[in-house]
Structure 1
């Protein structure tokens, strides 16, 4: 689309062990969710020129 602005964001890799316990898995899920929210907010700020 003409006059469109695209922002591509990425964060550091998030690793989880194959034999992770359910608690470790949940901790990594929360870390992933938090990271995605922060990246989305930053991309929105950049795209909107703020």
Structure 2
């Protein structure tokens, strides 16, 4: 099985389960967090009249 991010061969059970090697898993998690933060919208009442 290959890493879903870089295409390298996965070597351990945890990597197989995640579909990413350890370095790519950390990068994928960081990317996901960043995407979530960019997608946040202000709550009702915030930034009104700005």
TM-score by length of 1: 0.47
TM-score by length of 2: 0.47
Q: Which has more radius of gyration? A: 2
- Structure with the larger helix share: 1
- Tell which has more relative contact order, 1 or 2 (C-alpha 8 A, sep 6+): 1
